[in-house]
Structure 1
């Protein structure tokens, strides 16, 4: 009879080792989730990379098409235009659609202005060199366009 009671009490619960194994697995899963969540620094860095790539592509379009291309920056986002027949028109293509800044990224032009415009002429140079500063939390990234049209990222 005592053996039957001992078996019954064992079958009704978990051992301490089993509980510790489950807690260890849950801790590993929680760590994996936390590490995959993008932080402010990663968001700012990826947005700066995206901006630099799009600026370089806009410069290349100006050279290929042989016409001026502009990038207009505002606190809400940025967009691309090209000059056709004396008028500025939106630059076609999915890569050049108007883009809003992510909610945790703040924009400032290098000259301290809340808005900026970068022009690329038909040979790819920029008569309006600029430094665009993106920030969020403690993260800060700078995207520069030189007078020669070179696009770079970093301090």
Structure 2
């Protein structure tokens, strides 16, 4: 008589995908979006690949980030996944035209967050929790910058400095 061992959700998911926990919080971060199984273009979508690319270029020239472009294409034009229609991701399409942002989007938003917390700390000097969260945010910035330097996305001599950070996100 063998004893059956109940398995947890973590074990089931770990067989198919690797789960990355949250960096500065106890959560496991199991929530994720589910992409459709079929990777073909839906039959009801009337936009061609070139039309989608033109929309991407037009929105990028307005100053929108790749994520914002994707949301607008999804909500206004019915393009669920740009990659299924064009064969490339939004950022790759922007890079071919030279319209990609200088800083990667995740790094940009972390810097923007750090600048906002620093501004808050100037007004509220006794806010110890905000100071602690600023340290965590800047740790994430340094870690992400180190990763992007190895991938040659940012210049090897690029360095985050809190004094010049507000100029980066302005």
With structure 2 as the length reference, what TM-score do the two structures score?
Answer: 0.30
Higher percent of residues as helix: 2
With structure 1 as the length reference, what TM-score do the two structures score?
Answer: 0.32
Higher percent of residues as strand: 1
